[in-house]
Amino acid sequence: MSDVARLAGVSIKTVSRVVNDEPAVHPDTAERVVAAIEQLGFRRNLGARNLRRGSTTGTIGLIVEDVGNPFYSELNRAVERIATSFGRHVLTGSSEENSDRERELALEFCARRVDGILVVPAGMQHGYLVPEMRAGTPVVFLDRPAGDIVADTVLVDNLGGTIDAVTHLVRHGHRRIAFLGDSPDIFTAAERLRGFREGCVRNGVSYDESLVVMRTPTPETIAHAVATLLSGPSAATAVIAGNNRVAVHLLRALAHAEHRPAMVSFDDFELADLLDPPVTVVAHDVSALGHAAAELLFARIQGDQSAPRKVVLPVHLVARGSGEVTP
């Protein structure tokens, strides 16, 4: 900036005025300054500006498990849309389902003075965020609740959705239903399992623990589960996939079976409707989740001091055929 000032033959303050479109600069002076800026390729340093003005950085942090997962990237997109409408940018990070990494990212974002943070928490302990929140960085949890603090949270109806899935399958005559979920350490997985049990109870089907597998989905774990639960004479006739990755691996494991069992997937996924038979899903609006959380965060950023809110978004079962397969 001082280079520009020197070249234009004005004071550094006048350059600042021009850069900020402040009035009371003589047009001729402004022109000289603009020319100098052009010539030197000057661009003002936003960091210094924010420091001096005490203004915010215009950035929010988003921590998800994996930005590459379509579920989270859709979330990312929804958040970005709201952020853009508020003139903010988004700093993203993948926690890789690792609570240390989550914490590291969150604290790093705080040190960068983001205006607020959206977290899909990997861990169950969030005391480390209390000082930051007290210091004025709002935090909204989404998809999963905070571990041991009270904070704004936006969830989907995991329990109800899974109950619906069970009900749907039972209505189509299934009595032996398997449940393949992600690791029970993950809130949504545990909650959906709870829904599965509750669904069995409500529908008068005995809840059979031997038909449940809760493990991080990989081609191997799912293939093993299929071999155990979905084959042989006592095989389940229907299966509920606890999330989109379970569903995809499950479909792949079943690709060469002569007969695919009835199936419902929690989480919709692209092309589910084009498979044969199409896959019935418990769909939830991921964009809505991101929107709701981001809107809430921006309300906090703009000074909303009301009590922490907990929002639960509805889900709905989309019957596509795979749940109707006769037992």
Partner DNA sequence: CGCCACTATGACAACGTTGTCTCCTCATGG
Partner DNA sequence: CCATGAGGAGACAACGTTGTCATAGTGGCG
Residues that bind DNA (CB under 7 A): 1-2, 9-14, 16-17, 19-20, 23-26, 28-30, 42-45, 48-49, 51-54
Q: What are the phi and psi torsion angles at 190 (to 5°)? A: -65, -40
- Supply the minimum distance, in Å, between the C-beta of residue 78 and a second copy: 8
Closest to DNA by CB, 52 vs 256, is 52
273 forms part of the interface with a second copy (CB under 8 A): yes
Specify whether the backbone of 87 is left (phi greater than 0), alpha (psi in -120 to 50) or beta.
Answer: left
Site string for a second copy, 223-252 (x = CB under 8 A): -------------------------x--xx
- Supply the minimum distance, in Å, between the C-beta of residue 122 and a second copy: 15
DSSP percent split of the chain into helix, strand, coil, nearest 5: 45, 15, 40
Cis peptide before 70 (omega within 30 of 0): no
Count of residues that bind a second copy according to CB under 8 A: 50
274 forms part of the interface with a second copy (CB under 8 A): yes
- The label of the residue with tokens 């003589």 reads 26
- Supply the minimum distance, in Å, between the C-beta of residue 203 and a second copy: 30
34 forms part of the interface with a second copy (CB under 8 A): no
117 forms part of the interface with a second copy (CB under 8 A): no
Cα distance between residue 249 and residue 118, in whole Å: 29
127 forms part of the interface with a second copy (CB under 8 A): no
- Do residues 293 and 272 make contact, with C-beta atoms less than 8 angstroms apart? no
Among 10, 63, 82, 110, binds a second copy (CB under 8 A): 110
Q: Count Cβ atoms below 10 Å from residue 209 Cβ, excluding itself.
A: 7
Give DSSP secondary structure letters for 44-111: --HHHHHHHHT---SEEEEEES-TTSHHHHHHHHHHHHHHHHTT-EEEEEE-TT-HHHHHHHHHHHHH
> Which residues of this protein are in contact with a second copy, per CB under 8 A?
41, 43-48, 50-51, 57, 59, 66-70, 72-74, 76-78, 80, 89-94, 107-108, 110-113, 131-132, 134-135, 248, 251-252, 255, 269-271, 273-276
